[in-house]
Structures are given as structure tokens and as C-alpha cells.
Amino acid sequence: MYYYLEHYPFYVPPHISGTEKVKITIMNLTPIPETEQLTPSYLKRLPVKEEKSQMEQSIKMRYAFAMSSFGRMFNPSGITLEMRALCNQWSKIEEQPPIGDLYLVDRYFLELWKKRNEPKEEN
């Protein structure tokens, strides 16, 4: 079967003709003298400002994660202000959602949504 370029403007043939020109560049490695002792990245302490911005970024990502779950369950237009508040509250705690497929994650947030008005048990 022959494909006309006008019909399929983004068509790329599944073969290479073998006549293409290839440019190969070889770079020589140059040694760089070490000026400070290498420290594993997990031992380095971040400056306070960077640490705070990473914390804010983590909260934003957790909020978006929770909102996406409610969006899957209730459609984006069906998300209420109470759902947003619950997502905001959840994003600031350290509780982790279940690991696995999105069905388990959605069930987790649905249970949080159902339990939002229940009194909390104190031990």
C-alpha cells in the first residue's frame, strides 16, 4: 500500500534507506581537579529558604494528587468547596495514600470524604 504525502503529512516510513549521512562526534574527557570533598546528597543540609520552597512544592503536589482523585470520582465540575478544603487539609499532613492502582487511591479518598463529619475517636 502506498501512502501519499498529502493524505498523511506526518507519516514516517518504517524503514531506513541506508543512504542517510551521519555525523559522529567524539569528545575527549578532561580530568577536573576536586576542590572539595564529595558528600552524599542526602547528607547535605538545604538552606532554609530552599527547604521551605520544597515543602510548599510537596504540599501543592499532594493537594493536586488528592484533587485529581476527586476529579476522577465526581468529575471536575462536581468538586465542591468542601472537597477542596479536605484536599487542602490532607495535603498538609504526612499520611500516605495506599500504594497500588488508582482504584485503591480513589477508595481511600472516598472513605476520607465519607468520614469527614464523623467525630474523631480519642484514645
Give CA angle at 83 (95, 114), nearest 5°. 70
- The more confidently predicted of residues 53 and 10 is 53
Q: List, for residues 79-104, the tens digit of each pLDDT value.
A: 899 999 999 999 998 888 888 888 99
C-alpha–C-alpha distance, residues 97 and 91, integer Å: 11
pLDDT at 64 (0 to 100): 92
- The more confidently predicted of residues 120 and 8 is 120
Q: List, for residues 11-69, the tens digit of each pLDDT value.
A: 555 665 666 676 777 777 777 666 555 555 555 555 656 666 777 888 899 999 999 99
C-alpha–C-alpha distance, residues 13 and 98, integer Å: 44
φ, ψ at 15 (rounded to 5°): -135, 165
pLDDT above 90 (res 117): no
pLDDT at 63 (0 to 100): 92
Neighbour-count burial for 31-48, b at 16+ CB within 10 Å, e otherwise: eeeeeeeeeeeeeeeeee
pLDDT at 11 (0 to 100): 54
Cα 10 to Cα 1, 2, 5, 20: the distances in Å are 17, 14, 8, 19
Could you state, in order of their start, the residue ranges of all structural domains in the chain?
49-114
pLDDT at 99 (0 to 100): 86
Q: Secondary structure of the chain: what % helix, strand, coil (to 5)?
A: 45, 0, 55
